[in-house]
Amino acid sequence: MSETSGGTTTSNPAGSSSTAPSTTSNPTSGEPSTSSDGSSESGADETGGPSVCEPVPTCEAPLPNAGPELDWERTGTSAVTASGSERHRGYDMFYNPDEWQWVMAKFAYGPTDWDLAGEQVDLFLLEGCEGEFEPLGSVFTTDDGEHPTIHGVVDSGGWVYFQLPEPLPLGRHRIHMVVRGDGSTTDTIIEVVDPGTPMFLSDIDGTLTTFEFERFIDLLLDTVPDINDGATEAFQILVDLGYRPMYLTARPEFLAKRTDEFIAERGLPPGIVRTTQSATGALGDAAVEFKSGQLEALAERGLMPAFAFGNTDSDSEAYESAGIDLERRFFVQFDDPRGGRRIEDYTELLEEFGSLESVCE
């Protein structure tokens, strides 16, 4: 893999090439650019925040035509695709302006999550979630360990890593990806935000769903879980006030698509969605480590959740370690040993949230 900065071509073993922006950042690590004194070169105001309260775009648009299906690159791929339905999933990301930006997604099939390796994927961009999809280029899915880790995403095989040729502007952007061998697809979201942009964070199982282990019932019965009363309304109030949502769950990676479906079908405002990268998910100390790591990654971009929602001690410990305001940590039907606020459901918060001031100008 050869990578250089300063506007030269960047290649990677996944088969993509792109022109890196002229910065001093390290494209392999995915770190933002910094000047010689360590300060940000993005020019963003460290207090950040949106200048106006605009609805979070749904990113709906007619899908692009990728063309006719192509022959598989590898003879063994037919066995992979015959093992079951696709389980492709994108890896949503927050980025700061002028930061190295990567599109990442995992492609796999069947109950064993069999990696799709060495096959072509075409990428299309809906910039600003408006207009029409435009082609970005093609990339090939990886073999296990082929690509360096980017933003903590370890190459377990079946991944695409595509470095955008230029940083996307502030806003929400959708990338649509098409497997050329069978036409199967997945999407990912990139949100470009200034440091200090107001946001909130929520767990999923038992916090938004009505049962902590809902994911297993959901998977077994192929159903969309119920949602706790008032959650959609409470979160929409926060979004209308200017806060960006992020959904952080210790669910296993292969349930990422089901999590997206739950958010959409229960009317929750669209946001960045993040699961673990493991096949089994995380509980207890492992969940604390995962969520704390994700919160640290947000902090590196100048992002601190103004509100956090959970329902377990692992949520409590992660929120405590991140320094989230104690009075704005809410726990659904759970007594937080660290002093966060217990609620029975979100209807208790509607009047309170409705009296909050906007964080937009």
Mind listing the domains of the chain with CATH numbers?
83-193 (2.60.40.1930), 199-354 (3.40.50.1000)
Residue 13 predicted with pLDDT over 50: no
State pLDDT tens for residues 36-55: 333 333 333 444 555 457 77
* Amino acid 276: pLDDT: 78
Measured CA to CA in angstroms, residue 266 lies from 138, 323, 357 at distances of 34, 30, 26
- Residue 219 pLDDT grade (very low, low, confident, very high; cuts 50, 70, 90): low
- Residue 193 pLDDT grade (very low, low, confident, very high; cuts 50, 70, 90): very high
Residue 128 predicted with pLDDT over 90: yes
Q: Are 117 and 139 in contact (CB under 8 A)?
A: no
* Amino acid 232: pLDDT: 97
Length of the chain: 361
Residue 74 predicted with pLDDT over 70: yes
- Residue 170 pLDDT grade (very low, low, confident, very high; cuts 50, 70, 90): very high
What's the predicted TM-score (pTM) here? 0.82
Measured CA to CA in angstroms, residue 30 lies from 113, 149, 253, 277 at distances of 27, 9, 21, 18
More confident residue, 219 or 243: 243
| Cβ-based burial of 313 (10 A; exposed 0-12, middle 13-18, buried ≥19) | middle
Beta strands in 83-170 (DSSP E): 89-90, 93-95, 102-106, 108-109, 114-115, 120-126, 134-140, 159-163
Beta strands in 182-224 (DSSP E): 185-192, 199-202
The tokens describing 81, both together, are 């695709």
Q: Are 314 and 291 in contact (CB under 8 A)?
A: yes
* Amino acid 2: pLDDT: 31
CB atoms within 10 A of CB 260: 19
- Reference 113, options 272, 280, 259; nearest CA is 280
Residue 30 predicted with pLDDT over 50: no
Q: Which H or E element spans position 318?
A: helix 313-322
* Cα 323 to Cα 71: distance, rounded to the nearest angstrom: 52
